[in-house]
Structure 1
Amino acid sequence: MAVKVAGSSLSFSKQPLDVALRELANLGFSFVDIGAMEGWAHINPSEVASQPQKFVEKLRTLCEQYRLKPVAFNAGLGTDDLSEQQRRLSALCFVARELSVPVITLGTAPRNTPLEREVHRFRQLVAVACKFGVTIAFEPHFFQIAENPKVALALVEQVDGLKITLDPSHFTVQGLRLDDYRFLLPHVAHVHFRDAGTKGWDEIQVPMGKGQVDFGAIVKALEELGYEGAISCEYIDTIGNLDIRENLIALKSLLSSLIASNGSARYHYGGETIERRRTKMRKIPVALQLYSVREDCAKDLEGTLKAVAEMGYEGVEFAGYHGRSAQELRKMLDDLGLKVAGTHTGIDTLRGDELKKTIEFNQILGNKFLIIPWIGEEWRRTKDDWLRFADFLNELADKVKPEGMFVGYHNHHFEFQQKFDGQTLWDILFSATKPEVVMQLDTGNAMHGGVSADEILEILKRYPGRAKTIHLKEFSSTNPKAVLGEGEVKWKEVLTLCDTVGGTEWLIIEQESYAYAPIECVRKCLENLKAIMESM
């Protein structure tokens, strides 16, 4: 089932288009459904009609910048005059053709409009779109003429070339189920998804898992018909007071699973919360940051690595190489069955001629995560310094991407203590960096900077897909030497978010304060982590 999962820019309709696209990219979307709603978001068809080529260039630049491919326009033409509708649609179709956008969604007239009038209007609009090779699809919308599935069928059957954008929420709020509108599915060219209740407009958009939309059954039915269009995740930020990002993440994750299983995965949340929707976490490997046992490594690197492997760690993250070559390190690791989860490497090793050497060294190690653990004052005195650092990381991410590598930054405490214009240094940095830049959150360091246990969870939610590696470090306000599991970090919630939101590929334990020998501390950390995982 070659279906694309897209994000809708209307999820961030209160923001300018560039911000909306950045938000969707940060959520991990590769495809976008762009709002073209006159007087609302994100582009006005009346303005497109005046300068269509300008909008082609603008949208192409933005989509390339955020690595998003547009798959549909969701349009409101903003006028009752049919000739003006045709003019505006013609320009929008020109833009769609130039950007290879196959579908434009339009709304229908209000309920009680004579069907023949709407048939006439759509015949004229479809004729315009056909000249550009673009498909027009109408959305059967609550309060509009096509809210009744039978009327929607009559409309689509009377206009050659007209298709449907299916949004099940508009049927669900009327108490209708899939079997009540299944006959529309052969006419579907695009899909909008969100969860909804059955009690009218007040439940048109409810949190994932709280509604009655049977996503699994719908995806399965579309798959059986050979549907190969896009499905847009469309939680709209002007409806209700939901956490838009959290619900988009949940919906995107669900759709990806359903599509990967060819729609066969049976699904309904049935009131289950997002945090509890998985019955079992996926297996995320656990590594040790070797700075935790740095003195042991300095004395006997091979013996320390052997002890780490025997404890059950699956990988290590380097913080220095103790005078060994990449080849020597790789042999030690291979002999012990250890992988490399990353390296903490100074910023100077990633600049100029040193970058090539660093890439080659880490390719030999089998490492793809290059994490900057610290930056000097010249990078962090002002907000502009942090934005300059963000630009550096963005450029660096582009340079290492062809090598299959990622760059990132690891926090201490000051990134959460100091603010500019009400924003923490952490938020300034990660709001200005590309989705490919890794946010290596150190839980203990952040809490030492004043971040609460609940705020740790909010950071992971705010930057979905960015925690490709994370430092699991304990924090206790009463015991500065607490090991993992003995303090105030909400580990079950952190691990669940790493699993469902963070895009986490490595869980990395780090311990920097010691109640007993460091090697025993990291053993205890791993034992406690495994116990927590087994209890989830």
Structure 2
Amino acid sequence: MAMRLSLTSWSLRACTLPEAVAISKALGIDALDLGYFYGPALDKAALLAAPLQAAERVRELGIEVPNFYHLFGSTLADRNLADPGQRSRNEKDIAAVAQFCRAAEIPTIFVLPGVCNPGQGRGEALRQSAESLRRLVAITAEAGVQLTIEPHVHSFTESPQLVLDLLGEVPGLKLTLDYAHFVCLGWRQDEIDVLASHAAHVHLRQARPGALQAKVHEGTINFEAQLATLRDAGFEGALALEYVNQDYMATLYDDVLAETIALRDRVRAWLT
């Protein structure tokens, strides 16, 4: 399957889920990543309690869903994977999420890798997260769903090498790869490229050092080079456009729809 576009439902925070589906189709994207956030959210408690019923509601939307974003707790730190005290609860939840994704024909799940908890440095956080992820990968693999992590600002995986170290500890783990999180931290694009061969899903938005999100014409990511790197690495998944309006890393100030369309057109021009 060739690379194709998707849209993240949390980009359309004021919409209902049916409205987000309709916008994706109107933009000619025809695929929508789902999660628990804002107006297009899925009900987390309902999904965990009755995953097959939640999957039926998703299938009724009539749109491809390439990826599902599962957040274990209510914040980046709550129930994060580097906290060993949360493993049993997290494993129970991921089993339900994997059942949901299999029934809804969603091929990939992404979770966050974890943070440096009190008393932890990066090394210990990585060790604890790897132990958690080995168990979660086994659960999702049994359901036929690919588990991925998204390395992000404020996690312990704030360098490409740390991500590679974690992947080396967890056979079968893949990435939901967003270059913006590394560019924001000052990494050069060619330094991030080593992660492309590990990607099962990709988030796209413009960024620059110090800014997680930038207008398409104002950032430093060379999308044409990135797309070529992904292609050459054998990536055949979805490229999810992820412009957002969130109170996180100053991503409140862009016209989400205008930037989404501009990036859609730039990616399409390269793909064709």
**2:83 maps to what in 1?**
none
Q: Describe the shift of the 1:32–1:41 C-alpha distance in structure 2 as closer, same or farther (beyond 3 A).
A: closer
TM-score (ref. length: structure 2): 0.87
**1:333 maps to what in 2?**
none
Which of structures 1 and 2 has the larger relative contact order (alpha carbons within 8 angstroms, sep 6+)?
A: 2
**1:216 maps to what in 2?**
224
Counterparts of residues 234-383 of structure 1 (less than 5 Å): 234-238=242-246, 239-260=251-272
| In structure 1, distance between residues paired with 2:115 and 2:14 | 25
Q: 1:6–1:31: 8 Å Cα contact kept in structure 2?
A: yes
Unmatched 5+ residue regions in structure 2? Answer: 80-85
**1:76 maps to what in 2?**
71
**2:12 maps to what in 1?**
12
Q: CA deviation at 1:77?
A: 1.8
3-state DSSP class of the match of 1:205?
strand
Q: Deviations over 1:311-364 (max 9, x none)?
A: xxxxxxxxxxxxxxxxxxxxxxxxxxxxxxxxxxxxxxxxxxxxxxxxxxxxxx
| In structure 1, distance between residues paired with 2:45 and 2:131 | 22
Give the aligned CA root-mean-square deviation in angstroms: 1.8
Matched AA of 1:221: T
| In structure 2, distance between residues paired with 1:231 and 1:185 | 12
Q: CA deviation at 1:28?
A: 2.1
Q: Deviations over 1:426-464 (max 9, x none)?
A: xxxxxxxxxxxxxxxxxxxxxxxxxxxxxxxxxxxxxxx
Q: CA deviation at 1:49?
A: 1.3
Matched AA of 1:141: H
Which of 82, 90, 97 is the aligned partner of 2:95?
90
**2:180 maps to what in 1?**
169
Matched AA of 1:51: A
Q: Percent identity?
A: 28
Q: 1:194–1:234: 8 Å Cα contact kept in structure 2?
A: yes
Q: 2:20–2:40: 8 Å Cα contact kept in structure 1?
A: no
| In structure 1, distance between residues paired with 2:156 and 2:134 | 16
3-state DSSP class of the match of 1:146?
coil
3-state DSSP class of the match of 1:6?
strand
**1:107 maps to what in 2?**
112
3-state DSSP class of the match of 2:66?
strand
**2:26 maps to what in 1?**
26
Q: Describe the shift of the 1:179–1:237 C-alpha distance in structure 2 as closer, same or farther (beyond 3 A).
A: same
Q: Describe the shift of the 1:82–1:59 C-alpha distance in structure 2 as closer, same or farther (beyond 3 A).
A: same
TM-score (ref. length: structure 1): 0.45
Aligned length: 252
3-state DSSP class of the match of 1:76?
coil
Determine which structure has more spread, i.e. the larger CA radius of gyration.
Answer: 1
Q: Deviations over 1:56-89 (max 9, x none)?
A: 1111112x1xxx2111112212252222211221
Q: 2:68–2:108: 8 Å Cα contact kept in structure 1?
A: yes
Q: CA deviation at 1:207?
A: 1.1
Which of 181, 189, 200 is the aligned partner of 1:178?
189
Unmatched 5+ residue regions in structure 1? Answer: 261-536
| In structure 2, distance between residues paired with 1:213 and 1:44 | 34
3-state DSSP class of the match of 2:93?
helix
Q: 2:15–2:39: 8 Å Cα contact kept in structure 1?
A: no
